[in-house]
Structure 1
Amino acid sequence: MQKILVTVFLLTGCCFLINPVSAQSIDTRTYSDSAAYDTMLDEIVVTGTRSPKILKNSPVITKVFTENEIRKVDVTHIGELLQSELPGIEFTYSMNQQVSLNMQGFGGNSVLFLVDGERIAGETLENIDYSRLNLDNVQRIEIIKGAASSLYGSNAVGGVVNIISKIPVEPLHVNFNTRLATNNEQRHGGSISINTGRLSSATNVQYVSAGDLKMKNEGVYSKVYGNRTLNVKERLQYNLGDNFKLTGRGGYFFRERDSQVSSKDRYRSFNGGAKGEYAFHQKSNLELAYSFDQYDKSSFLVEDRLDVRNYSNVQHNLKGLYNYSFNSKNMLTVGGDYMRDYLMSYQFKDNASYLQHVADIFAQYDWTPTEKLNIISGLRYDYFSDADISHVSPKIGLMFKQGRFNFRSSYAGGFRAPTLKEMYMNFDMASVFMIYGNRDLKAESSHNFSLSGEYTSQYYNFSLTGYHNIVDNRITTIWNTELKGMQYMNIAKINITGIDANASVRLPSGIGARLSYAFTHEKIEKGQPLLSQTRPHAATARIEYGKTWRKYGFNIALNGRLLSKLTTYEYTSLTSYEEMEEVTYPGYTIWKLSLMQTFRQGINLIVGIDNLFNYVPDYYYSNSPYTTGTTFSAGVSIDISRF
């Protein structure tokens, strides 16, 4: 496979070098969209305010990945994109090779992932199934760091990631794409969309597979299990008039993992929803929506050909959102949500099931007293029936503009209510110890303070953000002597302080570069059962060169991620927080070189060399990159309807 991919890379590169293009056909545009930053800054974003807002005018710091940027990075899942582009984010393996997220001190249960603004059901070890979040047919991704509970409630303590699907604009668009990589990795997909003016439809299918990957050195795992994933999505929209729009969607997800010879782990999701949007006039609009998501786990017994379901999380959501503009400078947003949350799990006694009702109301006021000053404030009230917990989450943010400088400051409250699993768990952990839930858990809460400055010119962008988080009552497992097992408990305050710095340049010549750095410091009280797992220093870098002519374009890019070593402690005893040893997880850097070529007929060819300098860990820790060396990939995307 490697020889085949190297040959494809060389041949594709030769196509780029010998492609006959006359000097007279050169266009002033470049493939890397490097003409100016103003285009990006005029992007409409919705996640930070739950109402459309131009990026450069948003008082909430928002990172946006466009469709073109996603395509150039050439990744399959959301984790690969976030790690390659944002410092301070690390996806690692936890027990049984389940994927866990650490985003500058916050775990997967503190970062809310949305698809078109809707929550995702199901979790494993406090993380959602990130395999569900494929990047085919995605228009953009919006990322908010810091507490966003005033708009999104529980789980939005550390941030929000919102994946927004493409809306058809062409009368007919048909795409087929495929990608092959080392280790028998395959990705095949396609989409078809139509737009008749009143009616639009978008259907997307993607299949991903990978074989077992045997590690080169000793470590926590000797191999990474092979798996197969299927994603099917449909989105239908009908405009009843200039003021009324109906949207329906549905999806199916299936993943199978080769964890054992006698059985395979299976994961499924069925989801759907409907949304109606009505504009009363230019000043106000109303949105009503219903969504449904069912996420199941099962064990497929190979010899008996029997599929045994042992987990099911079913969520029904209703929401309403109303926006009213008093004038072009002031907007009031009010809304409410209701969720019916059902969970049946093998981790409950006798595979029991539990039900919880969640309701909230919220309001936000966006005020622009002068052209230079924008103030946004919000308040949200949430109630969780089974936990009998209510919580109020405030926020206030200010943005001041002076020439090409933007200054932002904010305070936001965050919280996370205990889940049904954390309240009712009764699970035998491989006959080693029991894990018990706790009905008396308090909600996690946080106070997030941030201050940032940004400078933007036609070709340059520089920003610096400092933040401080005070997290109280974080939920984790602690040894309970009386129960002789682990139990979910609240622990004392944790302070998380950090700095984000970014510098970018895009020149008309086609050259682009970006350097991003993140510093994170976790202060955890001595004797607490939680230990730091966050690398203090992380950086990502990118340098690229691209051009577009009338019939041909190319972009060549070098991406790198650099992570510092982490010296921390590991407990050597379950029953004592005094018995521990110092351990150092080594730092590392991984670089990827990719070349993408675009032909006018709608053909995109992309080849890549990942882990360019052949990094292989001496020992595979859980938070080490599970790489066995340099890998190669080659893919093609064809817009058939453009021929």
Structure 2
Amino acid sequence: MSRIFTLTFVVALFLQIGFSETLEPYTNLNGKVLSQNSNSPIPFANVVLLGSKFFTQTDEKGEFSLQVLETGKFTLEISHVSFLTYKEQIEIQEFTEISLNVKLIEASFEVQEILISDSLSEALNFSKPNKILSRQKILDSGAKSVTEILEEIPGVYIQKSSDGTAKLSFRGSGTERVLVLYDGENFQTASSGTDLSTLSLENLERIEIYKGNSSAQFGSGAIGGAINLVPLKKIRKNEIGTSFSAGSFSTFQNRNFVSLKGKIPTYFAFSEGFSKGDFAYTEQVGDGEFRAKRKRNERKQFSGFVSVKKEFTNEFSASVFSDIFYRDKEIPKLVAESEKLLSEEEKNFSGKIELTQKIGQKEFRLGFGSNFLSSDFSQKTNPFYDSKTETQNLFTTFNFQNKKFRIGSKFFAETQTTESKTTFSTIDVFEKRESKRKILSVFGNRKFTFSKFDIFLNGRADKVFDKGKNSSGTFYSAKIQNFYKINEALTFQFSAGKGFRLPEFSSLFLESDFQAEGNENLEPEESFDFEFGAELNFAKSGGIFNSELTFFYSKIDEIIVWRRNLYNRYSPVNDEKAFSRGFETSFSAGFFEQKLKFESSYTYNLATNETDEPNKKGKILPNRPKHQANFGFSVEQLGLRFRSKTQFVSERFETESNQDKVAVHDSGLDNYIKTDFSLSKKYEFSSWNFEVSCFLENAFDEEYANLAFSPSSGRSWRIEVEFRK
């Protein structure tokens, strides 16, 4: 009897469950995911209905089927590590069926979460970046500056100084060997690197990161790599936003943007900020002994950006963008018990006009642009010193491309004028210097596609007109990239290239004084490098995993270094050669529809001078850490997101002797570990999105130095409120 009762209960329960499920309203969401290039199916692509608990993967035929037990508006996201992420708004209704055929655009090695834009085909079809950070990736990171988001990339070292500036180095290249480009154009002046702290994230569509020799793509100065900041061009919707932040050291910042989608799509953004800072000055405590101390300085800045695009026909369009930046800062210092208050004012304006004509599968692009940079430097105590440097770049570009290749030319002219006045008591000493450089470039890119191979060839010739004795002439650059896809999860890559770097204006033409002088006899640097690595992507047990490993090697001949000459002045000279070699690896994992993420990376880099002289050979080059590591994780639930990031940087040396006493360190700059936390919460009110974020930086108040006499900022906090509609 009990057995009959038990059996009856089980059958009834089974029927009840089955009957209940049949009454549950559901929608069949199915489709097929194909490659836009080859029209072949894409297996193991991730299909996620954002904002719900439903997700799946495509099968070996690229097909997927998802039974959705909820109704409403959702965002469908389809992603694969080898393709650009696809997003579409869909509405789920009861007892309906939705069928989709989606084609994904093929992306590059290490590309993740990329949004589609007008110029993406040009960027990816003929030259592959090592990594691309999409606008969505930038927004999700919580970073508020280019510096913050680049610090997490393997092989990237940010060199910060006491006045708040930040410069970029890849794999031990040095800051002066990495180009910072804006929409593919070199707005960097012929000086020692671009200050990343002046660059905003607000107006960026994406950031393209090119590690290793990139002269074949971008010309002189890119032998260590390049980053390309691609501004917003395509307006997808009407949107308005504003944010306010305040924090430690009387820091305040306001950011605003307006996006208008109409007959003439327009994007406008501007920001302003002020900070008393927490940087450094030096104090002499004995004969030849110095120590670094923190002292606040004041800094205010303003930036603005405007982008306009007009499509006259389906084939012809014009794009215009302009970017302005202003910063004023004061730097207090103590040198030999005499305080010298330094101030610096920077102004920067850049603009570009681009015309695009399409004829079938062919495309012609003509661009014009200019960049103007002004820097006023003043020392307000005896001896009084004032200098003003103005740099202006003018360029014009022409590109032709189809599906197989791209060719183009560019003319680039740069003029730099420096005026200075030094006052000793009642005596004024005036100096003026003007430097000019013109470069005519011809370049080409070609892509070859085989069954599992993609090969990219890049070549470039630059004709340089310069008054430097050895820096004029014709220079050639070349690069080959090879990507071999074993299967949908595993990809191998190899690249090799050669390039050059012209001496900076200050290295060539610096007027002699009691401290330093230029050297008009400098030879351009020449480099050769290669790298090879692999990337593995797979999904298992509800998690999405990514792992990368890359080995690299670089050689620079005629490397330019500064050292004391016979007159006891610092002057640049050419050494025979320098090597940089090592590897970088990273691992990331995401679970519960990416609500829980872990990211880690490690870079080993040995950068040494290999000139055949006993006091130089094997010495580590200045400001090149051997070891760098990052670890972070984020948790998101119910609109609340917590993020932690820890960075480790090993010991560095300030000079190539590797033994100089710097600040309180006997042999260089000590290693350090820095930890940051952030917490944010999102709200929705009608059509407004509202987010509150809290940031705690250098949470454990770690004392460390990025440069000699430049201790880091201490523990600091920031609160930000953002509105979007």
Q: Distance in 1 between matches of 2:304 and 2:368?
A: 20
Q: Which AA in structure 1 matches 2:356?
A: E
Secondary structure of 2:402's match? strand
Task: State yes or no: 1:274 paired with 2:353.
Answer: yes
Deviation of 1:585 after TM superposition, in Å, equals: 2.3
CA distance in 1, matches of 2:570, 2:461: 32
1:546 matched to 2:636:
yes
1:6 is matched with: none
Which of 361, 383, 394 is 2:442 aligned to?
361
Match of 1:109 among 150, 173, 176: 176
Deviates more, 1:554-563 or 1:51-60: 51-60
Offset, 1:573: 11
Matching residue of 2:696: 609
| 1:428-447 matches, cutoff 5 A | 428=513, 433-447=514-528
Task: Name the counterpart of 1:379.
Answer: 459
1:313 aligns with 2:391: yes
Q: Is residue 528 of structure 2 the alignment partner of residue 450 of structure 1?
A: no
* Separation of aligned partners in 2, 1:513 and 1:366: 35
Change (3 A) 1:623 1:493: farther
Rounded to whole Å, the distance in 2 between the matches of 1:179 and 1:478 is 44
Residue 637 (structure 1) shift: 1.4
Alignment of 1:3-22 (within 5 A): none
Following superposition, the deviation at residue 385 of structure 1 comes to 0.3
Once the 2 structures are TM-superposed, how far is the Cα of residue 62 of structure 1 from its aligned partner? 2.1
Structure 2 match to 1:291: 369
Partner of 1:486: 570
8 A Cα contact 1:231 1:252, kept in partner: yes
Deviation readout 1:125-155 (Å, 9 max, x if unpaired)? x122323311123222111111111110011
Tell me which of 231, 234, 240 is aligned to 1:174.
Answer: 240
Q: Following the alignment from structure 2 to structure 1, what is the Cα–Cα distance between the partners of residues 445 and 160? A: 36
Q: Does residue 1:527 correspond to 2:615, yes or no?
A: yes
The aligned runs of 1:292-441 (5 Å cut-off) are 292-299=370-377, 310-325=388-403, 331-346=404-419, 350-370=431-451, 372-386=452-466, 387-403=471-487, 404-428=489-513, 433-441=514-522
Q: Does 1:119 align with 2:186?
A: yes
What is the deviation of 1:571?
Answer: 4.9
Show CA shifts across 1:153-212 (max 9, x none).
01111111111223353452111011112111121110112111x411111111122104
In the superposition, relative to structure 1, how do residues 472 and 604 fare at CA in structure 2: closer, same or farther (>3 Å)?
same
Q: In structure 2, what is the Cα distance between the partners aligned to 1:425 and 1:309?
A: 13
- Alignment: residue pair count: 585
Aligned amino acid, residue 353 of structure 2 = A
Aligned partner letter, 1:77: S
Matched, 1:128 2:194: yes
Contact 2:145 2:197 survives alignment (8 Å) = yes
CA distance in 2, matches of 1:192, 1:275: 22
Is the CA contact (8 Å cut-off) linking 1:104 and 1:520 kept in structure 2? yes
Aligned pair 1:70/2:148, yes or no? no
Which structure is higher in RCO with an 8 Å CA cutoff and minimum separation 6? 1
On the 8 A contact 2:272/2:300 being kept in 1, the answer is yes
Cα distance in structure 2, aligned partners of 1:285 and 1:307: 52
What is the one-letter code of the residue matched to 1:199? Answer: I
1:81-102 residue CA offsets vs partner (Å, 9 max, x unmatched): 21244454132227x7754433
Can you list the C-alpha shifts for 1:246-284, whole angstroms capped at 9, x where unaligned?
011122211101125876310101221200111111x21
Counterpart selection for 1:138 from 180, 187, 204: 204
Cα deviation for residue 414 of structure 1 reads 2.3
Question: Which residue matches 1:536?
Answer: 626
| Letter paired with 1:318 | T
Unpaired runs of 5+ residues, structure 2, are 1-49, 56-74, 86-104, 112-117, 284-290, 333-339, 422-429
Q: Does 1:159 align with 2:225?
A: yes
Q: After the TM superposition, which of the residue ranges 460-469 and 170-179 deviates more from structure 2? A: 170-179
Confirm or deny: 8 A CA contact 1:340 1:357 kept in the other structure: yes
Larger radius of gyration: 2
2:245 is equivalent to residue 245 of structure 1: no
Q: What is the CA-CA distance between 1:346 and the residue it aligns to? A: 3.9
Conservation of the 8 A alpha-carbon contact between 2:587 and 2:600:
yes
Question: What amino acid sits opposite 1:80 in the alignment?
Answer: E
Letter paired with 1:535 = P
1:634 and 1:119, CA in 2 relative to 1: closer, same or farther beyond 3 A?
same
State whether residues 275 and 287 of structure 1, in contact with CA within 8 Å, keep that contact through their aligned partners in structure 2. Answer: yes
Task: Give the structure-1-normalised TM-score.
Answer: 0.83
C-alpha distance in 1, partners of 2:188/2:127? 30
Tell me the distance in 1 between the aligned counterparts of 2:200 and 2:669. 30
Match of 1:183, SS state, is helix
CA contact (8 A) 1:511 1:544 kept: yes
Aligned mates of 1:296, 1:57 — CA distance in 2: 36
Q: TM-score, normalised by structure 2?
A: 0.74
Q: Are 1:476 and 1:530, in contact at CA under 8 Å, matched by a contact in 2?
A: no
Q: Which residue of 2 aligns with 1:15?
A: none
Q: Secondary structure at the match of 1:533?
A: coil
Alpha-carbon distance in structure 1 between the residues aligned to 2:658 and 2:224: 29
1:70 counterpart SS class: helix
Counterpart residue identity of residue 331, structure 2: S
Give a deviation string over 1:453-508, Cα, whole Å, max 9, x none: 11112411111000100111111223221x55232221111110010101111123
Would you say the 8 A contact 1:47–1:162 is kept in 2? no
> Which residue of structure 1 aligns with residue 44 of structure 2?
none
Q: Could you tell me how far apart the structure 2 residues matched to 1:627 and 1:592 are?
A: 13
Question: How many Å separate the matches in 2 of 1:633 and 1:610?
Answer: 8
- 2:712 is aligned with 1:634: no
2:36 corresponds to = none
Superposed CA deviations along residues 326-361 of structure 1, whole A, max 9, x for unmatched, are xxxxx1111111111101124798212122211110
State the alpha-carbon separation in 2 of the partners of residues 398 and 572 from structure 1. 38
**Distance change >3 Å, CA 557–CA 238, structure 1 → 2:** same
The unaligned stretches of length 5 or more in structure 1 are 1-24, 326-330, 575-580
Partner of 1:210: 275
Corresponding position: 1:587 with 2:671? yes
- Shift of residue 423, structure 1, vs aligned partner: 1.5
Match of 2:646 among 560, 564, 571: 560
Equivalent residue for 2:27?
none
User: Hey, what's the Cα distance between the residues in 1 that align with 2:385 and 2:445?
Assistant: 47
Structure-2 separation of matches of 1:473 and 1:221 = 37
SS of residue matched to 2:700: coil
Shift of 1:541: 1.3
